[in-house]
Every structure is written in C-alpha cells, then in structure tokens.
Amino acid sequence: MKKQILISETSKETRIAILEDGDLVEFFVEKPERNRMLGNIYKGKVENVIDAIQAAFVDIGYHHNAFLPFSEMDDPASVSAMIESIVRDDEEETTRTRRKKPLSKSVSGLKTGQDILVQIIKEPFAQKGPRVTTDLSIPGRFLVLVPGEDSIGISKKITRRDEKKRLRNIVRNLKPKGFGFIIRTVAEGQDDKTIKSDLDDLLNKWKNLEENVKNNPAPVCVYRDMEITSMVIRDLLTPDIDQILVDSKSLYRKLHAYIKSVSPQFVKKISYHSYRNPLFNEFNVEKEFEKSLNKKVWLKSGGFIVIEHTEAMTTIDVNSGKFIGKKDHEKNSLKINLQASKEIARQLRLRDIGGLIVIDYIDMDEDENRKKVFLELKRALYQDRAKVALSPISSFGLLEMTRQRTRVNLLYSVSEECPLCHGSGRISSKESVVTKIEGWFRRFKMKSRSKRLEIHLHPDMIDYIHNSTNNLMRKIQWSNFLRIKMIEDPAIPVDDFKVFLAKNGEDITDQY
C-alpha cells in the first residue's frame, strides 16, 4: 500500500491530506485563529464538583469550563500532590496508581477553588467545553513521558521479544525516578543515542512545565502541544510512509529541519511541490474533499450511503440506489452492504466522525450474511487509529458502534451554521411566510393607527405573491384597511421580511 502525506498552506489555514493508494482517508485542517487545544496541559481551578453526575468542572481560562469525569481522575491524594510537589520544589517524588474505574462520589477528593493540573483529551464542540483528564502525558517522537509513574510501557505493534527487551533496557537505564515512559512503535530499531535525545527533550519540556506551574496563577496553559503539521509528522511518519509533499517553502524548511533532527533517515521522503498545478489538484484531493462534505456518498455499484449528523449521534443509511443486480434480493443486499462497509470505514476516518454511530444496512434475512457484513466493517476499521467498538447487526438491520472523538468533526471545521436554517437544513416555505406576514399585519392593526407601510421582501417572495391567484397582498390590505407597498430587497432572506413606516422609514418589524 502506497501512503502519502500532502500538506498545503494558505494565508488562512493549513490543510493536511493522508492518501492510501491514491484514496483520501484522513484530512486535517488547522486555522491560525482557532488554536488547537488537544494535548495541552493547564493549571486550572476547580469551579464546582457535582457528585450526582460523577464529574467536576474546571476553569482553564477558556470561555466554557472543562469537563472532568471522576473516571478520568487519578487517586485523589496524588491529584493535589502533583501541584504541591512542583510548587514546593523539594526532592520528594510523587507516585500514583492509575485508576480506570470511576471513583465513588464520597472519595472524589476535589474541592471548589482547588488548583489542579489537567490535560485536554477532547476538543470543545458547540456549547460543550473541552474534556480533560488528570492522567498527564507528554508525547515525543519515540517515547511518551508519564509523570508520577515508574513503569515502562511499550507499543503492542512491536512484536519481537528481543527488540522489546532491548528497548526496555535502554529506557530503564536512562529514565530518572518518578517518571514513567511508553515506548512508541517508531522507536523500533532506534539506537541508544536517539532514544536518549528524545527522552532528554521530554524531560526538558516537563521542567518548563514545572516553571510555568510555579510562576503563574491558575487558570493558565502550562504546556502547549505541537501545531497540527508537526504533530502529524511526529505521530504519523512511520517507515510505511512513502512520500511527504509540501507546497509552502517556509513550512517545507521547518518540517525538513524537524525530521532531520528526530528521524534523519526519513529526510529523503519529504519534498517541496514547486509545480504550477496546485498540490491538492494534482492528486485530486480537492474534489474528494468537496465530496466529503456531502450527505450522500455514491458506491461503485450504484448504491449510496447517506450520512446525517444529530446532537446525539450520527446515522448512516445504506441504499441500493441505481443498483439492479440479479434477481436474488439477498445476494444484491449483501453485495451493496459489503461495499458500503468499506466506504463507511473510510468516511468515518476522513470526516473524523466520533461518538455514537448507527448504521442502517439493507435488510438481510440470513444470519451468515449479517455476520459477513459485520466482519467486513471490522476489517475495514483496522486501519483506523481511533478506538472503535462495534455490536453485531440486529434483526432490524441496524449496527451500533462508537468511535473515539478527539478533534472536531471535519464538517464543523470547514463550515459554519447557515444563518437561515440554523442547522436544520430547511427554511420556511413561501406559504408559511405569507401566513407569518398576515399574522404580523393583524397584530399591527390591533395596536397602531398608522395606515401607510412598506414591506421589504426577497425578489423570489415578491414573484410568488404577484403570481398567486388570490391576490394575496390586496387581500391583506383590504382586510386590515392598510396601504402596503412591496419593495424588492435581495439582502432580505427568502423566508423573512421587514416592515417600515412609510412616513419616516422607521423599522417596526420587531415591535409587533
């Protein structure tokens, strides 16, 4: 499989595309005015502790408080001791036991006004603040530093026993007490000097974090993770990446220097795209990206899937569409469902859809076929770096799954809420607008003695009123004893209107 990373920079944003055999599978967007928060560590202040929902809210200086579930807390004593040990600046080492089960409300240990160190594990979305944990970690190129631990973990993707033993021994001989480390997959085959360099860099970052904790009152960011371009290179640049293309000279120099310092053997993989044809057009990324914003995604067979986002979940509907196939309905359904499973897995990665997902497959009668579709989706999701959990297809043809959500969904990263429909995707019909207008004039007649008015409407709405068979505006005027002049105004939304007094031009729309 050929893997490529394409990075395109403009004045307003940086876009990163991950391609596998020419297919777009992941897409990242970074905007200068929207700072990425994932991975940042904050010295926060506990605003309130709500035992009823087993969670606390922490002020980190963001306009929404961060959400800290008790299940994301370490032992209560160590939560307080972490900041206290840093501030005291003594020789004591803080040890802690990681706790994965929710703490009971009687031992949450948090108090309102208490300072606390937390790390962002989920970006804020809509009216929800970021989700945080007290399980701190700082990722490097080859290692992940875990303060307050003494253990050494290692990636499951490193399978050779002798290599695991070698890497563990290197880290064990280098690490100071009171710090744990996780050995990342890309550390496989690296020598002592390279591992030591990464370990020392992580310890320096922790030292800077400690200085920020000592010298700054809460709330404050004490550690900021890399911007998304460097993060993608740090986390995704593995031996199976064939090529990295960058269309910005300054960004190319920056990434070239970073790769040369951490993984010099990969320097030859990065190159500058200097051709006239834009980078994303050259690899057909722009067209694929535009498709990723559509609700409907076509399959090769002629079937299609429809992706709908709601507040509670994402629903995906599988349809046969133009597919005719053979006379056997069961075989036709199986073929489309298998194709849909592969495409759904790709779309989940590409759009970065997280949370609860419900897939409505085409009905199949045989349990064996439902199992085939389930296993096909499971296989297709193997390449996904996010954690996923699936349940078998039910007798109703529904499959429920969850996918880890860390970043904001791609759709919300590159689009804004429609000011007309406010996210519903629909606006009032012309008939409904006329009903609103009639109601407005009836209310006006009850409360005012003015007779001459002007109503500003979108040109399409005026055409509809003129072409109506029952003389709508004349009917409104006679029934309310008013003189109303219609004025075309393209700036008025098609499902809205504004009314002004004819004598002085006063806008009285919101008064009645």
Alpha-carbon span 95 to 252, nearest angstrom: 42
Q: Return the domain boundaries, the chain.
A: 3-34+228-286, 44-197+212-220, 292-384, 430-511
Alpha-carbon span 336 to 437, nearest angstrom: 48
**Cβ(69)–Cβ(54) under 8 Å?**
yes
- 11 has which bridge partners? none
Written as six digits, the tokens of 306 are 């429809």
- Does residue 264 have a pLDDT over 50? yes
Q: Distance of CA 101 to CAs 104, 182, 378, 441, Å? A: 9, 21, 27, 61
Residue 423's pLDDT is 67
pLDDT per residue as tens digits for the range 169-185: 999 999 998 899 999 98
pLDDT per residue as tens digits for the range 37-55: 889 999 999 999 998 888 9
Tell which residue, 202, 208, 204, has the closest CA to residue 181. 202
**Cβ(66)–Cβ(58) under 8 Å?**
yes
Residue 90's pLDDT is 35
CATH architecture for segment(s) 3-34+228-286: 2-Layer Sandwich (3.30)
HSE-CB of 10 using CA atoms within 13 angstroms: 10
Residue 469's pLDDT is 62
Residue 277's pLDDT is 85
pLDDT per residue as tens digits for the range 89-128: 433 333 333 444 444 433 457 888 999 999 999 888 767 8
Alpha-carbon span 14 to 108, nearest angstrom: 41
- Please name the residue that has the structure tokens 């031009």: 505
- Does residue 376 have a pLDDT over 80? yes
**Cβ(457)–Cβ(486) under 8 Å?**
yes
Written as six digits, the tokens of 38 are 């994932």
Q: Assign 508 to helix, strand or coil.
A: coil
pLDDT per residue as tens digits for the range 409-418: 777 777 777 7
Q: Number of helices (H) and strands (E) in the chain: give both, helices first.
A: 13, 24
pLDDT per residue as tens digits for the range 346-370: 999 988 898 899 999 999 989 999 9
- Does residue 489 have a pLDDT over 90? yes
Contacts (Cβ under 8 Å, ≥6 apart) of 199: 140, 143, 145, 171, 174, 175, 181
- Does residue 86 have a pLDDT over 80? no
Say how many C-beta atoms besides its own lie within 10 A of residue 4's C-beta: 18
Average pLDDT, the chain: 86
- Amino acid in position 292: S
> Backbone dihedral region of 32: left (phi > 0), alpha (psi from -120 to 50 degrees) or beta?
alpha
Alpha-carbon span 246 to 272, nearest angstrom: 5
Q: What pTM was computed for the model?
A: 0.73
Alpha-carbon span 313 to 256, nearest angstrom: 41
Alpha-carbon span 201 to 457, nearest angstrom: 63
Buried b (16+ CB within 10 A) or exposed e, 70-104: bebbbbbebbbbbbebbeeeeeeebebeebeeebe
CATH of 430-511, one of 3.30.70.580, 3.30.420.40, 3.40.50.2300, 3.40.1260.20: 3.40.1260.20
Residue 263's pLDDT is 86
Bigger pLDDT: 222 or 90? Answer: 222
- Does residue 153 have a pLDDT over 50? yes
